[in-house]
């Protein structure tokens, strides 16, 4: 049953979200800081979500509620409460993650994560480096300021 739900979710997601994603701009820079519920998108401050959720570090990996980031880059997000599965799409790429599971899928290719997605205060927190790299973005970490910067240059977002 879980597999059927996942397949249906994938099909619905592909036809609904990905087809509606449009190019937004040529260059994109998103910056987030651990403990800060505000991100900057090309210099403009925006709330990460309406609940004031901030990025956290778990086992040396940055996790955050990723909907705001995926939507900023022009992608889509779907959540299946029953299976606790997140489906992310951007251009032709699809990422599937499940809460508390170290196995993820990038375009049907199985990947093992260093840290599993987790639920904190009713928010699903996902490993941002895996997602951003999977969608072709660069990710930089500044340990001094505990800041993550996600960039895409000149390829058209």
pLDDT of 156 reads: 46
Beta strand pairing status for 147-152 and 28-33? Answer: antiparallel
CATH number, residue 59: 3.30.457.10
- Consecutive sets of 10 residues in the chain, 157 residues long: mean pLDDT of each? 50 46 66 96 94 93 91 93 95 96 96 94 91 94 96 65
Residue 142 lies in a domain: yes
pLDDT of 20 reads: 42
Residue 157 lies in a domain: no
Structure tokens that stand for 106 in this block: 């990038």
- Neighbouring-strand partners of residue 85: 80, 98
pLDDT of 131 reads: 94
Residue 97 lies in a domain: yes
pLDDT of 152 reads: 86
State the residue range of the domain holding 116.
Answer: 2-152
What is the number of domains present in the chain?
Answer: 1
């Amino acid at each position: 049953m879980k597999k059927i739900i996942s397949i249906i979710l994938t099909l619905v997601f592909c036809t609904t979200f990905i087809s509606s994603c449009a190019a937004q701009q040529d260059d994109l820079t998103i910056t987030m800081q651990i403990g800060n519920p505000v991100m900057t998108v090309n210099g403009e401050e925006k709330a990460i979500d309406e609940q004031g959720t901030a990025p956290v570090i778990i086992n040396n990996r940055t996790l955050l509620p990723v909907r705001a980031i995926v939507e900023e880059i022009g992608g889509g997000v779907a959540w299946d409460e029953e299976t606790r599965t997140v489906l992310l799409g951007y251009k032709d790429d699809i990422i599937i993650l499940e809460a508390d599971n170290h196995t993820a899928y990038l375009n049907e290719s199985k990947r093992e994560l260093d840290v599993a997605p987790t639920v904190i205060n009713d928010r699903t927190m996902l490993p941002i480096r895996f997602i951003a790299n999977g969608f072709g973005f660069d990710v930089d970490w500044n340990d001094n300021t505990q800041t993550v910067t996600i960039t895409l240059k000149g390829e058209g977002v």
